[in-house]
Amino acid sequence: MLRGIEINNTVCCLCNRFDEDEYHLFIDSEVSSQIWQKVSRWINYTIPTWNSIDEAWLWDDGVPIINNQRTIIRVIVSSVFWNIWHLRNSHIFNDAKFKKSHVFDSIVVNAFEWMYSRFHTSQVNWTVWLQNPLNAL
């Protein structure tokens, strides 16, 4: 019992093979790995193999990019984490109404909306965003 909550099952609900921890869920599971591969192709940038969540949050610190691109990457990483968490919770609490096939599309839309709201004074172009978000500002 953790924090007064009884946990009957610690197996990852997305793969049903390994115990769920933050690293497995967000980085190492088959589902999250596929998502990160799609994101890597979308932003046209190789995402490294991470050994921890902290590495994922901070990987762009060593990447030679301009500040707007760094902001875009951080928003996209946040969107990936948010949507994987949403998928997991949907499986646990809502009987999987949020589908794995929708995760990438949701990442793209959420990250765009977050960027658009942050840079409301400048135009974030949707068409450019879809093609390569690092060139959207």
Q: b/e string for 94-113 if b means 16 or more Cβ within 10 A? A: eeeebeeeebbebbbebbbe
Tell whether pTM > 0.75.
yes
Over the stretch 28-80, which tens digit does the pLDDT of each residue have?
898 999 999 999 999 998 888 899 999 988 888 877 788 788 889 999 999 99
- What is the pLDDT confidence band of residue 13, given thresholds at 50, 70 and 90? confident
Whole-number Cα distances in Å, 43 to 1, 36, 72, 123: 41, 10, 10, 19
pLDDT band per the 50, 70, 90 thresholds, residue 1:
very low
